[in-house]
Every structure is written in structure tokens, then in C-alpha cells.
């Protein structure tokens, strides 16, 4: 009996050690909310899951310190909401605590896709392609409930969640599924497409949409020409047997997720890292190894990492005019809207589609057919046809930035004790002792 009791207590101890401890503090920093996660066990992908939780709440990571030593890890994030403010909503804070502690970023969102069929599309982009895809789905009586569309360097990736318009539930008939896949592949296939097209109805659960789109585009292995606006370098830290991945580019929402997601999907493990923003410029540095503990070994591999990261940074960068559509949903709505874009010479470069309680809430980024800024007259013509009150031109809400000097000054005036200074100092000190940063001051 005593031995059984000891085993039960040991199991409780192991569970307690493996369960992440989450601290959310608004008193430590004058300009951001501190989110600290630490545990005695770091499973592969846990860092990405934590960042995914922050990203799904549209939080902006202003600073971060990432450190793991064997099984122990501590991640410290300084976050603000999309307006540059600290977190004050108790429901948001509670969600953060629950999601980060359980390691399940899908809490509260998985029900959105119940009763829906997932479809994955990949192919060569062209003007009007998205309109043709939605027209085929409408013709096959498939209603699009949720969708995310990315385009980059002439390629398009889509993740769609649809329902059968007749039954209002999943598409289950095997013959019908094959017909849907065949029709979509015909639309996606180009006469000069040497890379092929993909149209698959997923039969298993689909991972996080943004992560899945990164996986699709990474597997496509086509990055094309990347912009010089982002700087990525890879160096080997021989004495520590790490590879050091450095990223410098303009900060934007979800940037940290895109970088860490790409490293994770390329099967690198992030052991240590720092993230800092100065104005609208982001600096990120990660110390990584392969899953087997080895650093990056060749120049070809370095270039593959650099090109993959640059592509991941750029493919979500907003290009074109942002249009927000909000109106009552109906069968064929997306087909009609995107056909109107096409007829007025507008190309959809990115899209986010959502339907809730019978209302469509969609965001489209559009350019002209050549990828340049859309003609305002064409935009107004589309708006008049769809409805001026339904389709609005809106600037993307970007996080507000604060210079490093003013932020440091505010923190110095906040009266926070030395022992609480950032709480991230513990992680910084560990990085310094490992020789991974020059100073912990």
C-alpha cells in the first residue's frame, strides 16, 4: 500500500515537472505584458505551439528570450495587443494561461471545423484562378465556410473548409470526393506548369491552417526570387556545435511564428534565441541543431535555410489593397465576388475567408493583373457592384512601435524592482553564461 502511494506521488511529481508553468505579469514592464513559460520537459514543437497561441490572439511579440538546457526550458515573451497596449482583458489572459499550460493551441477553436471537409490546393497562380476555384466548388454544391489563400512568386496555396450545400455537413461520398479533386486539379493545372498541381480532400485532421500552408509551400520547394528587404544569415558556432540563424527585416504581425514554423518544419530544434524590435525593425537570432543534435553541415544546406526563411517572411507580407467584405452568406457568394474582381482586372494575392452565424467576414488583398497597385477606379467599380456598405477599403492594423530609447526610459521610470527587471534576465543570464550573447546587461 505504501509502495503504491509512493508511486502515485512520484507520478504526480513527474506530471507537475512536465506541465509548463505560466506567468503573465503586467507589472514587470511599462510597455508590454510579460509572458513566461518554463518546464522541466521540452518536447519538439512546444516552442512553436506557444508562439502559435500568441499569434492566434493577434499579439505582437516585442522581445523574446528562448533558452533550453537539456530537458529544462524557459521562454519569455514581451507582448502587446495589435494596438500596442498591454493585455488587460481577463478572458484573453485566462485563455493564454490555459493554452500555454496545456500545450494545446486549439483550445476553444477546434469546434469551428466540426462537420466540415478540408481541401488542400497547390499550383501555379494566374489571374482569375481563385475565381475559377470558387466557381467549381459552387457548381459542385460545396459551400466554403473557411479558407486561407497565399500566393508567392507565381505559386498559390489554399486550405479550404467546405460543407455540402445540400446536407449542410461534410462531403462523405467517395465518388463525389474524387470528382471534386479531379475538377479542381483541371482548374489548377497550367499548360506550362512543370511543377504540377495538387488538389486533395483531406481525410484526416488538418493541422493549424497557417502551419499547413507553410508545409505545402515548403514541400513545393520553389522560392523564386526573394526580396533584398529581408536579411537572413547562417553561421556555425563551432565551439558550441550550434548553427546560428540571424534574421533582420521589417517587423509585422506573425513574423516570429513564420520563422520558427519554417525552422521546425525543416526539422531544426531551437535551443536558444533572442528577439528584439527597434521601431519597426525586427532582429531575431536562433541557435539551432538538427533533431539528431548536429549543426548545419554544408553550404548548400545553409543556402536552403536562407531561401526558405526569406520565402516564409515574404509570402505573408501584405501586398495590394486590403478589402474587407461583410455581408449575409449565401451559396456561390465567393464565386460571384471573385468573378467581379476578375472582370475588373483585380488579382487576389491573399485571402482569409470566415463564415459565422450566417454572415461572411472575408478579407482580400488585391492588385492589378501585373501585381502592381490596383487602380482606385477599378476598386470603386467593384465596391459599387458588390455594395459600398458591404465591401470596404481598409488599411491593415499594424502594431504600434516604440523606439528602444523611449521604451527603456519608460521602464526605468516604472519603479519596478531590480529583482523583477524583465524576469527575462534569468534567460538572458543563461544565454550569456553559454557564450551565446555578448552581454546580459
Asked whether residue 90 falls in the same domain as residue 58, the answer is yes
**What pLDDT, in 10s, does the model give residues 130-141?**
999 999 999 999
Whether residue 114 sits in one domain with residue 196: yes
**Is residue 103 very low, low, confident or very high in pLDDT (cuts 50, 70, 90)?**
low
429 close to 440: Cβ distance less than 8 angstroms: yes
Predicted confidence at residue 212, as pLDDT, reads: 92
Q: For the beta carbon of residue 61, count every other beta carbon within 10 angstroms.
A: 26
Averaged over 318-344, what is the pLDDT? 94
Per-residue 3-state assignment (H helix, E strand, C coil) for 273-342:
EEEEEECCEEEEEEEEEECCCCCCCCHHHHHHHHHHHHHHHHHCCCCCEEEEEEEECCCCHHHHHHHHHH
- In tens, the pLDDT along 56-92 reads 999 999 999 999 876 678 999 999 998 899 999 999 9
Specify whether 126 is located in the same domain as 95.
no
SS3 content of the chain, % helix, strand, coil (to 5): 35, 30, 35
pLDDT, position 399: 53
Whether 201 and 247 map to the same domain: the answer is no
Q: Smallest Cα–Cα separation from 308: which of 149, 152, 436, 200?
A: 152
Together in a domain, 248 and 201 = no
Element of type H or E holding 271: strand 268-278
Query: Distance (Å, rounded) from C-alpha 393 to C-alpha 387?
Result: 12
Cα–Cα distance measured from residue 270 to residue 377, given in angstroms and rounded to the nearest whole number:
48
Q: Specify the number of domains making up the chain.
A: 2
- Give domain status of residue 47, yes or no: yes
Among 405, 369, 401, 311, CA closest to 80? 401
Residues 139 and 248 placed together within one structural domain of the fold: no
Domain assignment of residue 274, yes or no: yes
Closest CA to 365 of 330, 336, 325, 305: 325
> Within 103-173, where are the H helices?
129-139
Contacts 24+ apart (CB under 8 A), 37-40: 37/74, 37/75, 37/100, 38/72, 38/73, 38/74, 38/75, 39/72, 39/73, 40/71, 40/72
The residue-averaged pLDDT of 247-259 equals 94
Same-domain pairing of 300 and 326: no
> What average pLDDT does the segment 341-353 reach?
95
Do residue 247 and residue 121 come from a single domain? no
Tell me: do 381 and 273 sit in the same domain.
Answer: no
- Same-domain check for residues 131 and 184: yes
Query: What CA–CA distances, in Å, run from 354 to 58, 143, 338, 351, 388?
Result: 16, 12, 15, 10, 20
Q: Which domain holds residue 168?
A: 110-207+319-393
Q: How far is it, in rounded angstroms, from Cα 63 to Cα 423?
A: 12
Task: Using pLDDT thresholds of 50, 70 and 90, give the confidence band for residue 418.
Answer: very low
Q: Does residue 217 lie in a domain region?
A: no
- Is 1 contained in some domain? no
Considering the domain boundaries, does residue 412 fall inside one? yes
d(CA 135, CA 288): 45
430 three-class SS: helix
**Domain-embedded: residue 48:** yes
- Residue 422 pLDDT level (bands cut at 50, 70, 90): very low
Domain for residue 221, yes or no?
A: no
- Domain check: are 370 and 415 in the same one? no
In this structure, are 309 and 427 located in the same domain?
Answer: yes
Residue 119 sits in a domain whose CATH number is: 3.30.70.260
Asked if residue 78 lies in contact with residue 36, where contact means CB atoms within 8 angstroms, the answer is no
The number of beta carbons lying within 10 Å of the beta carbon of residue 277 is 24
Reported as a pLDDT band with limits 50, 70 and 90, residue 285 is: very high
| Interval 115-137 mean pLDDT | 93
Report yes or no on 134 lying in a domain: yes
Amino acid at each position: 500500500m505504501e509502495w503504491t502511494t509512493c508511486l502515485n506521488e512520484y507520478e504526480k511529481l513527474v506530471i507537475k515537472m512536465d506541465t509548463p508553468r505560466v506567468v503573465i505579469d503586467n507589472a514587470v514592464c511599462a510597455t508590454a505584458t510579460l509572458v513566461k513559460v518554463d518546464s522541466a520537459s521540452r518536447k519538439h514543437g512546444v516552442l512553436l505551439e506557444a508562439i502559435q497561441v500568441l499569434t492566434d490572439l493577434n499579439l505582437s511579440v516585442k522581445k523574446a528570450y528562448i533558452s533550453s538546457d537539456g530537458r529544462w526550458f524557459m521562454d519569455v515573451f514581451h507582448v502587446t495587443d495589435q494596438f500596442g497596449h498591454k493585455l488587460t482583458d481577463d478572458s484573453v489572459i485566462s485563455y493564454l494561461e490555459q493554452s500555454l499550460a496545456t500545450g494545446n493551441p486549439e483550445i476553444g477553436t477546434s469546434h469551428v471545423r466540426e462537420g466540415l471537409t478540408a481541401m488542400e490546393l497547390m499550383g501555379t497562380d494566374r489571374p482569375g484562378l481563385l475565381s475559377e476555384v470558387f466557381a467549381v466548388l459552387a457548381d459542385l454544391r460545396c459551400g466554403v465556410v473557411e479558407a486561407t489563400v497565399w500566393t508567392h512568386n507565381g505559386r498559390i496555396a489554399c486550405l479550404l473548409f467546405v460543407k455540402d450545400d445540400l446536407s449542410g455537413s461534410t462531403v462523405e461520398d467517395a465518388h463525389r470526393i474524387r470528382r471534386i479533386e479531379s475538377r479542381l486539379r483541371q482548374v489548377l493545372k497550367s499548360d506550362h506548369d512543370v511543377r504540377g498541381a495538387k488538389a486533395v480532400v483531406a481525410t484526416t485532421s488538418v493541422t493549424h491552417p497557417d502551419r499547413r500552408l507553410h508545409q505545402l509551400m515548403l514541400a513545393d520547394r520553389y522560392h523564386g526570387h526573394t526580396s533584398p528587404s529581408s536579411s537572413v544569415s547562417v553561421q556555425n558556432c563551432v565551439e558550441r556545435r550550434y548553427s546560428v540563424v540571424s534574421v533582420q527585416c521589417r517587423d509585422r504581425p506573425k513574423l516570429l511564428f513564420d520563422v520558427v514554423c519554417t525552422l521546425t518544419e525543416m526539422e531544426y530544434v531551437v535551443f536558444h534565441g533572442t528577439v528584439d524590435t527597434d521601431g519597426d525593425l525586427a532582429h531575431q537570432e536562433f541557435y539551432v541543431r538538427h533533431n539528431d543534435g548536429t549543426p548545419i553541415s554544408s553550404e548548400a544546406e545553409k543556402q536552403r535555410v536562407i531561401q526558405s526563411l526569406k520565402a516564409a517572411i515574404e509570402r505573408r507580407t501584405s501586398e495590394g489593397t486590403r478589402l474587407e467584405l461583410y455581408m449575409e452568406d449565401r451559396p456561390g457568394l465567393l464565386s460571384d465576388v471573385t468573378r467581379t474582381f476578375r472582370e475588373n482586372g483585380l488579382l487576389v494575392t491573399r485571402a482569409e475567408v470566415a463564415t459565422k452565424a450566417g454572415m461572411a467576414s472575408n478579407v482580400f488583398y488585391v492588385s492589378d493583373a501585373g501585381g502592381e497597385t490596383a487602380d482606385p477606379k477599378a476598386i470603386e467599380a467593384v465596391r459599387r457592384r458588390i455594395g459600398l456598405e458591404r465591401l470596404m477599403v481598409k488599411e491593415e492594423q499594424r502594431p504600434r512601435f516604440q523606439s528602444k530609447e523611449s521604451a527603456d526610459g519608460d521602464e526605468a521610470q516604472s519603479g519596478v524592482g531590480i529583482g523583477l527587471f524583465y524576469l527575462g534576465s534569468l534567460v538572458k543570464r543563461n544565454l550569456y553564461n553559454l557564450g551565446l550573447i555578448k552581454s546580459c546587461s
